[in-house]
A and B are shown apart, each in its own frame.
Chain A
Amino acid sequence: MHESTVSFESAALAVEDEAAVDASAKAVPQRTVLSPVTLTLSEPRVAVIGANGSGKSTLLKMINGLVAPSGGRVLVNGHCTRQATKRVRRDVGFLFTDPLAQLVMPVVLEDVELSLKASVPDRGERRRRALEILERLGLDHLAHRSVYDLSGGERQLVALATVLAAGQRILVADEPTTLLDLRNNALLQRTFATLEQQVVYATHDLDFAARADRVLVVDQTRVVFDGAPDEAVAAYRQLALREA
């Protein structure tokens, strides 16, 4: 099983709010995207739940270095995401909501091979390993298919294969089941359950969140609850119903 740690040390993000600028203003006002967060994630499965626009995706993107905090820092296995982005990305894979944005090659096998390109210079060996990964996920029958011909669920599983091919120790997934139907949703969740990597995922599916070892609830840019899944889901339900 995994042995990884992600630490947020007062990590926060504020951006210039161009929309709020008026002609007389001397400086561009700041808009908080994520309020300072301090926590350490070492559990195998960590779920992040919260409303749209609450800051979940920003929190996740900070782990991979896709978003650099404007204050504080994020450490992945002791490496700062801002100063050692390349090193951090060797440890952290990222799965996006829309797999089509993630798949850059037209054929499934070619995309998995692309993930291996940096580590496996020999083309034949690259192909063999790519096929091995697809076989492990039960996707070998899709190897020579066009990514455009796949269903949403198949695409998401292929995107997962491209991430796993890179061999990272942590998988971050931003709402990976949002675009999936019930069957594919279950398939992806089953696959997630078998992974050896630490998985940090955002989701609106509260059943999926409840299967994590730890759940963070994000509301209006703040982590407002951090704890056991049952309590976190209850806290989020209460929060959502109060605002409704």
Chain B
Amino acid sequence: MRGRMMTLGLAIPGRSGIHRAPLWAKYLVVLAFGVCALAWREAPVALALIGLTVLLYAAAGRRVLACWADPLRYLWWMFAILGAHQWWLAFSAGATGMESAARAVAIVGGMLAALQAARLLLLVTELTVLMDGLGRALRPLRHVGIDPEALSLGVSLMLRSIPAIAASAVEVGDAARARGIGRNPVALAGPVVVSAIDYAHRTGDALAARGLLDHDDEPTG
């Protein structure tokens, strides 16, 4: 987990058509996957969308395709819990076992397809390009007092924070095992939260020090 999580937000360079597609087209594809998964909550649609993501990853190159299975490899337990929960919800509402299974595949499959589409966007686009595009797209929000540049920086920070917090969770787990405390998730949650807050403080300080959070309306003395 340590290694793969650290690559989140890292684009894999390439010259494929997927890589070279304009940013708006990439965003549109991600949006289309989300809309389809939400609008047609049917197992065949979800499976078709997942199949389509495999084709798109393959079109982006071998190294990108090799990343396709990562969410299943590391987060299979989450999809399993979600699937079981959806199956139980449908079953307890009166559906047959098969119908409940189809429902679970539709929901979890749709989520997986949307997730894979979003990951593909990150894998084939540099973060600075994404940030520039997001900043441009969100420019109208300036009229309602929202700074689009700050918002796009926030998105990149979110991507940057996930591996950092995952690394801190691994470190806390290692430290706990070294002290013989074991893997009690409740005991580990406290130190992970504290270290996440500390990380947020340090990142905030660093952003402020680099002048990345300064507003245009501040007096310049």
Interface residues of A (CB under 8 A from B): 61, 64-66, 79-80, 83-90, 93-94, 96, 98, 100-102, 104-107, 110, 113-115, 117-118, 123, 144, 146, 148, 162-163, 166
Contact = CB atoms under 8 A, between A and B. Distances in A.
Given A105-B156, A144-B13, A148-B6, A84 B221 contact: yes
Interface residues of B, number: 37
A79 B10 CA distance: 39
A114 B214 contact: no
8 contacts: A61-B205, A66-B205, A84-B219, A85-B218, A89-B210, A105-B160, A107-B127, A118-B212
B126 interface: yes
Contacts of A80: 221
B164 A100 contact: yes
A14 B13 CA distance: 51
Contacts of A104: 153, 156-157, 160, 203, 206-207, 212
A115 B210 contact: yes
B214 A101 contact: no
B7 interface: yes
Nearest to B209: A94
Given A86-B218, A87-B221, A146-B7, A110 B132 contact: no
B212 A106 contact: no
Contact of B211 (A86, A101, A105): A86
Given A84-B221, A85-B218, A87-B220, A106 B127 contact: yes
